[in-house]
Chains A and B, each alone.
Chain A
């Protein structure tokens, strides 16, 4: 099969690999029909995530058709069209039994501090991902769902991570009616978090980024007020002014490890890997939220330390909430929202790239060329 393969920081190529075999009775092998590049894949691409091995196939956002199932699989059969959450999870460990699917304890031998994620380094379990023609899906009876007949394939692939994560991020904010919500980051997750904040009754939603074309999307797609932080000397002070010096009730960090806005923080983390992530957006979130407010973190950070302004969080009495999204838990409600026309996730897709050109896809997304917001990968378009 053809598969994207990591070759070292900033370098990937497409190679011929063996079709993955069934390794466990509850495995399925899925033929990928659409995959996506996630903003967090860029952290791998840039060599930021420890134990990212040359030869690994990335990709934790994918949908496809079941090709083969293991002997104990009961809920799926060959030919089923399925969407697969980015979480690999068993369904019955201490954490899964309580709905914390992203924190499963039975699927990641390499680390206890994070669950299993497809194609996301050995730190997240060492599973090859879906930017390939075929992928192994463990616990096929637990994670995947049939794609409803009425659902568009591109909407389905965005449900496997970006939409579910953005919606989850808004929930972590514990938004109450009329709250002012600030979202750092107008990428896919930030756009969905902003949109979801309205569903939860926000009175005002403000999105902050430095890419004007993404802020334009935040205005049209997510009905948000926008601020380009590059136009202000101090975005935290601007947020104080915008909220009559109170601060926002809820701030969502939808940026994560490669945040821009402070040269030293960015370079020490993203370029020289001396921090687990650049905490610029997180520090701005801590400073822009009101005392007693809530900071929700759904941007991805690595396992190493980061220079977070924890004292401010303590002294302001903040509630800090965060996790990788337990994706499937969000689906029934999100299916309703899509069906009712409240959400149309595929509206943010900007690029559809054949698997053979995936290196260009990563560069376009990483360097923010061509007004790129969300690139999809099409294995069959070669």
Chain B
């Protein structure tokens, strides 16, 4: 009890635990723990032969955090910014530091614009987006979707119903708007 000085009695002694659990206590001494202490100075780690790494070629103006003094010597080259989403991303990097909520909210907004841009582009390609196959939802039928949930006291079932709305909702709205637009055009042509 915390109301007196004594520590609560242990259910099992160290000897009992050592006998019951393979490896119990082998890292008891902090000296055997690789991340103790947190910082361990070793500037020649793994035989690194540079003080500052050679610079990777910058093949397009690479967006960077304004909290960096300069472009890092090595950087990822996946998916350069493009389209309206790219404009938003570049603005966010140029204008706001990582400490500003606006920076992250703009990047999240750009992510959604990016998805819409690519969905639209996919419809004029040979491989249009398919929310059925791309969500993997068909595994609900082959991987026990119902029995994985029913009677399991899972608390996540209270919000999983939102997922189809989040994924399918925009598609349904877009489809509905498309149908409405076509009907309106047809009506206009008739009159």
Residues of chain A at the chain B interface (Cβ within 8 Å): 7-13, 23-26, 47, 50-57, 72, 74-75, 88, 90-92, 96-100, 105-113, 116, 122-123, 125-128, 136, 138-139, 141-142, 168, 171-172, 174, 177-178, 196, 198-201, 203-204, 210-212, 223, 228-231, 243-247, 260-261, 263, 266-267, 270-271, 273, 276, 290-291, 302-305, 326, 328-330, 332-333, 337, 340-343, 358-364, 367-371
Centre residue among B46, B105, B136, B163 by max chain A CB count within 10 A: B136
Contacts of B158 in A (CB 8 A): 263
For the complex of A and B, 5 pairs with smallest distance between CB atoms: A342-B23, A126-B76, A363-B136, A8-B115, A359-B136
Q: Judge if B175 is at the interface, Cβ distance under 8 Å.
A: no
Contact between chains at B139 and A364 (CB < 8 Å)? yes
Q: Please give the residue numbers on chain B whose beta carbons come within 8 Å of chain A beta carbons, in ascending order.
A: 1-2, 7-8, 10-12, 14, 17, 20-28, 30, 32-36, 38-43, 45-54, 56-57, 62-65, 67-68, 71-79, 81, 85, 89, 93, 98, 101, 104-105, 107-108, 110-112, 114-115, 117-119, 129-131, 133-140, 142-145, 148, 152-156, 158-160, 162-163, 166-167
A114 to B97, CA, bound (A): 14
B residues in contact with A106, CB < 8 Å: 52-53, 72-74
Q: How far is the CA of A263 from the CA of B181 in the complex (A)?
A: 38
User: With A24-B56, A330-B34, A341-B22 as given contacts, are A10 and B135 in contact (CB-CB < 8 Å)?
Assistant: yes
* Closest B residue by C-beta to A201: B28
**Alpha-carbon distance A332/B50, docked complex (angstroms):** 24
A198 lies within 8 A of B23 (CB): yes
Pick the contact of A111: B45, B54, B98 (CB < 8 A): B98
Contact sample, A vs B, 25 pairs, CB 8 Å cutoff: A8-B118, A23-B56, A50-B108, A91-B48, A111-B65, A111-B98, A112-B67, A116-B74, A122-B89, A123-B107, A125-B76, A139-B74, A141-B49, A142-B45, A198-B17, A198-B21, A198-B23, A199-B26, A203-B11, A245-B1, A267-B162, A302-B104, A342-B22, A364-B136, A367-B148
B148 vs chain A, min Cβ distance (A): 4
A367 and B145 contacting across the interface, CB-CB below 8 Å: yes
With A23-B77, A57-B78 already in contact, the answer to whether A109 and B62 are too (CB < 8 A) is yes
> B56 → chain A, closest Cβ, in Å?
4
Task: Report yes or no: A304 in contact with B162, Cβ–Cβ below 8 A.
Answer: no
Given that A111-B65, A211-B152, A261-B155 are contacting pairs, would A122 and B76 also be in contact in the complex, using a CB cutoff of 8 Å?
yes
Distance in angstroms between the alpha carbons of A24 and B77 in the assembled complex: 11
